[in-house]
Amino acid sequence: MDFDLTPEQSDLRDAVAALGRRYGHEYFIGKAKAGEHTTELWAEAGKLGYLGVSIPTEYGGGGGGITDLTIVCEELSATGSPLLLLVVSPAIVATILARHGTEAQRTEFLPRLADGSLLIAFAITEPEAGSNFHRLGTVAQRDGDEWVLNGRKCFISGVDHADYVMVVARTADAATGKLVPALFLVPTDAAGLTKSKLDMEIVSPEKQWLLYLDDVRLPADALVGDGDAGLPALFAGLNPERITVAAMSAGTGRYALERASRYTATRQVWGRPIGTHQGVAHPLAHAAIQVELARLMVYKAATLYDAGRDLEAGVAANMAKYATADAAALAVDTAIQAHGGNGMTTEYGVATLLGAVRAGRIAPVSREMILNFVSQHVLGQEKSY
């Protein structure tokens, strides 16, 4: 059992942390509050190769694994810049295309996903279906050489500055006629695709959108992979999504605890730093333990995934996502408490993360659905729903 990163991964971690520190949480929050995107940070991360670390070298990436992308997600979050679209464009979409895209799709999209010049959002959630993926109502019908898509999606992150959205739809299986999942690359300026912004209580540069697909016509090659790729392609994105979201939560927890520790080591109320009071230090220490425990599961999941042990990685990824969401929420809450009134100010940069860490218990898969998964697949209980 090896708990050390490789020398290359350690270098990656230090370099990403240095980039994140150069921008800082103030930059991230400033952009969010101004309704702008973290374009400069994204572009620089792309130029330095951090967005493409897990993309194969023949398509312009770094040739590493999800562990490397996990490091990028964790370190940027640990410096106060949890870039949500890391989970979407490099983790979900690039993995799906690298594993299941056609050669033409890999050649066209992966190099630009790797350098950050292309952004692809990911749309699965629907208002009616919710967590029940079997109820997806977005349908793709074949019409000659084209596909015609109709349906609605909700909570889709980053559509306003994405070039494409990878849309999960259902299409009739050629052999059985049954509706099966299929993924499509839809340009965000496609005729028939409209969006409206959801007002969310999360301070983030990435906004969530409702998407309406009304007779969106796409060429045949907008279908990801060949005709049978749908379900395996969709599953290929799930573990990287959960692992990188978990890494962002772990990083955010670390960030909050670092801010709090700095504060409690210097703030004096009774003539000594407040960190000398165990009532202040112990909750922070407890949160630090929870974050570190959860982090271990993130790297276990990433390691299993990179070893090609998808089923075990799935269990670990779900557990990591569950545990880091709770640990991050605890860390941010405890860090706010340790700051007193300053904890609620924008200046001290902790309460700004409340919405985002809370959302970690809901998206991309809720804690209840993870408990369902663990009950069924780890504890052998009958499916309850």
Q: Which residues form the interface with ligand FAD (CB under 6 A)?
A: 88, 122-125, 130-131, 155-157, 202, 208, 359, 362-366, 368-369, 372, 385
Shortest gap between Cβ of 44 and ligand FAD (angstroms)?
A: 23
Outline where the chain has alpha helix (H): 7-33, 39-47, 66-78, 85-86, 94-100, 103-114, 230-266, 278-306, 310-338, 354-359, 367-377
The CB-of-323 to ligand FAD minimum distance in angstroms stands at 16
Nearer to ligand FAD, 88 or 233 (CB): 88
- Angle of helix 310-338 relative to helix 230-266, nearest 10 degrees, comes to 30
Phi, psi of 228 (to 5 degrees): -100, 5
Query: How far is it, in rounded angstroms, from Cα 156 to Cα 171?
Result: 21
Q: Residue 17 or residue 139: which is nearer to ligand FAD going by CB? A: 139
**Identity of the residue, 172 or 202, whose beta carbon is nearer to ligand FAD in the bound complex:** 202
Residue closer to ligand FAD (CB basis): 87 or 274: 87
Task: Output the residue with the shortest Cβ distance to ligand FAD.
Answer: 130
**Six-digit token string for 100:** 């299941």
Quick one: tokens of 77? 């979050």
Nearest residue to 204 via CA among 132, 259, 252: 252
Single-letter residue type at 68: D
Contact 180, 231 (CB under 8 A): yes
The residue (of 117 and 376) whose beta carbon lies closer to ligand FAD is: 376
Coil/strand/helix, residue 59: helix
What tokens appear for 24 in the block?
Answer: 């800082």
Task: Provide, rounded to whole angstroms, the least separation between the CB of residue 272 and ligand FAD.
Answer: 41
Beta bridge partners of residue 139, listed in sequence order: 150, 170
- φ/ψ bin of 194: left (φ > 0), alpha (ψ from -120 to 50), beta (otherwise): beta
**Of 13 and 367, which CB lies nearer to ligand FAD in the complex structure?**
367
Shortest Å distance, C-beta 238 to ligand FAD: 11
Instruction: Closer to ligand FAD by CB, 188 or 372: give it.
Output: 372
Distance CA(99)–CA(263), nearest Å, equals: 46
Structure tokens at 144: 């000659």
* Smaller CB separation from ligand FAD, 237 or 275: 237
3-state DSSP call for residue 149? strand
For the CB of residue 186, give the shortest distance to ligand FAD in the complex, in Å: 13
Give the nearest distance from C-beta 285 to ligand FAD in angstroms.
30
- Provide, rounded to whole angstroms, the least separation between the CB of residue 39 and ligand FAD: 19
Shortest Å distance, C-beta 103 to ligand FAD: 27
